[in-house]
Chains A and B, each alone.
Chain A
Amino acid sequence: MIVLGCVQLETSDIISIIETIVTAAIGIWIGVVVQKNQQNNRAIKEYFIDEINSTNEKYNTFFEQVYEQQITGQKTTEWFKIMNNQFEIFDLNLRKEISINASTLKGLHIEFRNFLTSSEDFNNAFTKPGIILSPVVKNVIMNYQARIKSEVVNIIIAINKSKK
């Protein structure tokens, strides 16, 4: 038994007090750590969502330039290579951090690149100030644009849904 002023504490009381303090401390600690983890995870997800949105913007700009004949053949092949490299890094980091892959989007990018750069329209206009595409080719490109947009949305959803 412990006497504190006029308060008498039995051993069992002391144990209860200590138990309450320890339980509260553990609860607070878990709350802080879990919250911090959740904040970190949210920050990681938002980073990747920002990245994929940025990619989407770059694609939108590229499509506009193609439709408006504002990009040359040379610049087109350079753009495809730069984007290919960016996809590679994005996919690698996404798999590492959130266990999601962007391989479908990358596959679409490659397919689109091969279609456009093998087309006769593209090659015939390679040295012109802007590549001139027939309506048939433009229609196929619009289809690629829709598929790529759709895949970007799928990735954003997958990121948000991921457990991490």
Chain B
Amino acid sequence: MESKKVNQLFVTQYSEYPGPRYCVQGPFSGEDYYHKVLNSEFYKAITNEEKLQINLDGTAGYASSFLDEALGNLVYDFGEIAVKNNIFIVSEQEPEWKEMILNDVFNQWEQRRKNIEAPKKTIDHPDHFTIKDVKITKTT
């Protein structure tokens, strides 16, 4: 079985100083990272049948809310299975982040997805990709 090509994404390319949860709370937020970077990168990866490697190392540090909002939105829009099958997290400097994301964030946001508890959007974002009825569509 041919292994998929890996597309590497470093959070440091977005910011070395990740911020709070929402855009209205400060710059370089989890909400902003998801809508500006992660959503489209994940969409590219799954349409090109590639894996997306998200590398958390090298920043000045994270608020847990940043990671929760960014990765949680990904699960909300694409589902836990699709996300788990198509990304892997690298966090060698602080391995606990990877554990938190895989064990807590994914589970909690998958539950939110099932309960249709939509994530908060504190500013207007451009259309973004989601999976709806097994099809990827663009939505507001």
Cα distance A59–B65 when bound, in Å?
A: 22
Which residues of the partner chain B approach A124 to less than 8 Å between Cβ atoms? 20, 25
**Chain B residues within an 8 Å CB radius of A81:** 60-62, 93-94
Contact: A117 with B64, CB < 8 Å? Answer: yes
Task: Tell me whether B61 and A77 are in contact (CB under 8 A).
Answer: yes
User: Which residues of chain B are near A122, meaning CB under 8 Å?
Assistant: 20, 63, 65
Whether the Cβ atoms of A78 and B61 lie closer than 8 Å is yes
| A138 on the B face (CB < 8 A) | no
Contacts A126-B19, A126-B20 given; does A77 touch B60 at CB 8 Å: yes
Determine whether the beta carbon of A117 is less than 8 Å from that of B62.
yes
Chain B residues contacting A127 (CB-CB under 8 Å) are 19-20, 25-27
Contact A74 B64 (CB under 8 A): no
Chain B positions 20 through 44: 1 when the CB is less than 8 Å from some CB of chain A, otherwise 0:
1110011100000000000000000
Indicate whether B100 reaches chain A with its CB closer than 8 angstroms: yes
Tell me the interface secondary structure of chain B in the complex: loop
Bound CA–CA A101/B100 (angstroms)? 22
A123-B93 contact, Cβ under 8 Å, with A73-B26, A74-B17: no
The chain B residue with its CB closest to the CB of A122 is B63
With a CB–CB cut-off of 8 A, which chain A residues contact B20?
Answer: 73, 122-124, 126-127
Count contacts between A and B, CB distance < 8 Å.
Answer: 61
Instruction: List chain B residues, Cβ under 8 A from A123.
Output: 20-22, 25, 63, 65
Selected from A78, A114, A118, A126, the residue in CB contact (under 8 A) with B60 is A78
Q: Which residues of A contact B21 (CB under 8 A)?
A: 118, 123
Q: Does B124 have its Cβ within 8 Å of any Cβ on chain A?
A: no
B96 in the interface, Cβ–Cβ < 8 Å? yes
**Sample of 12 further A-B pairs with CB below 8 A, known A81-B62, A118-B21, A122-B63:** A73-B63, A74-B17, A77-B61, A77-B63, A81-B61, A82-B61, A117-B65, A118-B63, A122-B65, A126-B19, A126-B26, A127-B20
